[in-house]
Structure 1
Amino acid sequence: MSRTMLTLATSVTFIYLGLCAALFIFQRSLIYFPQPRSLDRGVVMITLQVDGAKVLVTTRPHNGPNALIYFGGNAEDVSFNLPSLATAFPDHAIYLMHYRGYGGSSGKPSEAALFADALALFDQIRTEHPNIVVVGRSLGSGVAVHLASLRPVARLVLVTPFDSIQELAAHQFPYLPVRWLLLDKFESWKYAARVDAPTLVMAAEHDEVIPRTSTESLFTAFRDGIAVLKIVTGTSHNTISDSPEYIPLLQGQSSN
C-alpha cells in the first residue's frame, strides 16, 4: 500500500471512529428533548420519589376505580393533554408523567429511569384505582408496553409506536455499529408478547417519523387476539391527535 493510500485509510478510520464516539457520547441528546410544563396554576401535582429523583406528575384527581396514565413523546409537554383527556374521560383520574428532566422533574432521562418511574407511578395509584388504562405516544409507547408487560393494565393504547429505537437508529445511521453503541434501545417487540391487556395500536397514515413497517412489526409481536391495528387517515406523526377519530379511539369506541 502506498503512503498516500495508507494516509487516506488512516484518515477515514479516524473520521469513522470519531463519528462512532460522537454518537455514543451524544446519543441521549438525540433521543430526549426535555420540555417545560405549560400548565401550572390550578393543577394538582404529585411527586414520585424514585432512586433519588423527584418525578412530577400532572393529575386530575377523581374518586372511583378508573384511572388513565399517559406517557408522552420525546419532545412533548404532557400537561398540554390534561384538558382534553379530562373531558374525554370524565370518570377517570388522569395522570401525566413528566419524564426526568421534563416539566420540572429532576434527574436525566434514560430507558431504565423511565421504566422504573412508570412502574412506581402505576403501583402508587393502583391502591386507589384498580382499573387503569395506559396510553403511550411515540417514545411513550415504549414505556407503556414495558409497563403493561409487568403490571395488570386494564387496556393499552399505543399511539404512533415503534418496534425498537435500536432498529430506527440503525436505519438512520446504517454505516455505524448502532447495536453496539446504543444504550437506550426501547425494544418494545420484546415486551409485547407478555402483554395480556386488550391493546390498540394507532398509526398515522403519513407518519414521517416512525416507518409503518416499524409499527406493523410491533403489532405482529403481540399474541393473537390481543392487539388491533388502526390507521388514522390523513394524519402525520404530530397531527394524529388533531383527527376527530383520535379521542373516540382512545375511549375505546370502534371506528370504521
Structure 2
Amino acid sequence: MPPTNVSRMSRTLVLLVVILAAAYLSLCAALYVFQRSLIYYPQPRAAGSADTLLTLPIDDAQVLVSVRSHDGPKALIYFGGNAEDVSLSLPGFAEAFPDHALYFMHYRGYGGSSGSPSEEAIARDAMTLFDKVYADHPHIIVVGRSLGSGVAVRLASSRPATRLLLVTPYNSLEELAARQFRWFPVRWLLQDKFESWRYASHIAVPTRLIAAEHDEVIPNSSTQRLYSHFAKGVASMQIIKGAGHNSISDSPEYFKALGNGL
C-alpha cells in the first residue's frame, strides 16, 4: 500500500526534528569545547623588563607579575580584565598609590606567562601571589577589574586583605553568559562560572564597587545583585558618570574612586 501524504509529511517532520536536534547538540558541544576561547583573550606584555618582573613559585607554569617595588608595609595586588595587558595599567596606579608596592599578575597565557587560563588555576596563582606579597607587606589592597573582580573577591574571602576594590564587577560570569547565549544550557556547559556572589558574604574588609554608568558589557543590575550579597556596612558602590566598560579608567574620577577613603 503506497504511503499517504500524511505519512510522508510525518517522516519529513521527524527527519527535520532529528536534524535540528543534532545541529543544536553540535553547537552545545562546540560551546563546551571552545568556551575558554570565548572568555579569555590573552594579551602580550607591552611594558616592563626583567627587572620589573616577578616569577611566582608555581610548579606547573611560569606565572609572571609586573612589579613596582616599594619598601614599607603597604602593597596593592591587581587582577585585570579578560583582554587586558596589566603592565599598561601599572604606571597610573604607581602615580595614584605612591606609597604602595604594586603587583600586577599576568594570568596564564598572558604577558609571557605560560600555561592556559582557567578559573581554578587563576585562583591558585592569586593565593600564591598574595602569600608571597604578605610576607613583606602586611597591608594589602586587592583590586580586580571586570573578569579580575571575580578573582579579587574570591581571594579576599580567604586571605587577610586590608581593602577590596572591584571595578566593573559582576554577580557571576554564568549569569552574563546565560544572558548572551539564551538558547543554550549555560548552567550545565560552563566550567568557569566566577560566582562572585558566593564569596561576597564572607568579606569583612572595607569594599568599594566601582561601576561605569554606560557599561555595555556588564549590566548595572548584575553589579547591584553582587552588592546586595555583601554584609551591611561592608561595601559601598560608586558609579562613574559618562564612563563605559572599557573607558572607565580614562575618567578623571577613576583613581579618585579607587583611592577614596585610604
State the TM-score, normalizing by the size of structure 1: 0.97
- 1:96 corresponds, among 72, 91, 104, to 104
Distance of 1:42 and 1:234 partners within structure 2 = 38
Divergent runs of 4+, >3 A:
none
Q: Secondary structure at the match of 1:205?
A: strand
- Report what 1:229 is aligned to: 237
The structural deviation recorded for 1:99 is 0.2
- Report what 1:75 is aligned to: 83
The structural deviation recorded for 1:44 is 1.2
Q: Max radius of gyration: which structure?
A: 2
Distance of 2:48 and 2:206 partners within structure 1 = 33
Distance of 2:84 and 2:11 partners within structure 1 = 52
- Report what 2:138 is aligned to: 130
In structure 1, what residue type is equivalent to 2:187? R
Contact 1:65 1:131 survives alignment (8 Å): yes
Distance of 1:248 and 1:237 partners within structure 2 = 17
Contact 1:65 1:129 survives alignment (8 Å): yes
1:21 equivalenced with 2:29 (yes/no): yes
1:197 equivalenced with 2:205 (yes/no): yes
- Report what 1:240 is aligned to: 248
In structure 1, what residue type is equivalent to 2:99? D
In structure 2, what residue type is equivalent to 1:52? D
The structural deviation recorded for 1:40 is 2.5
1:174 equivalenced with 2:162 (yes/no): no
State the TM-score, normalizing by the size of structure 2: 0.95
The structural deviation recorded for 1:83 is 1.0
- Report what 2:57 is aligned to: 49
In structure 1, what residue type is equivalent to 2:63? V
- 2:44 corresponds, among 7, 28, 36, to 36
Contact 1:43 1:58 survives alignment (8 Å): no
Please report the RMSD computed on the Cα atoms of aligned residues, expressed in angstroms: 1.2
- Report what 2:225 is aligned to: 217
Between 1:241-250 and 1:97-106, the stretch displaced more is 241-250
- Report what 1:158 is aligned to: 166
- Report what 2:120 is aligned to: 112
Q: Secondary structure at the match of 1:39?
A: coil
Q: Secondary structure at the match of 1:69?
A: strand
Q: Secondary structure at the match of 1:53?
A: coil
Taking every aligned residue pair, what percent have the same amino acid on both sides? 60
> Over residues 151-188 of structure 1, what are the superposed CA-to-partner deviations in whole Å (9 max), with x where a residue is unaligned?
11100000000010011111111111110010000000
Instruction: State the number of aligned residues.
Output: 254
The structural deviation recorded for 1:252 is 2.1
The structural deviation recorded for 1:253 is 4.4
From the superposition, tell whether residues 80 and 43 of structure 1 become closer, same or farther in structure 2 (CA, over 3 Å): farther
The structural deviation recorded for 1:42 is 7.1
- Report what 2:151 is aligned to: 143
Q: Which runs of 5+ in 2 are unaligned?
A: 1-6
The structural deviation recorded for 1:82 is 1.3
The structural deviation recorded for 1:136 is 0.2
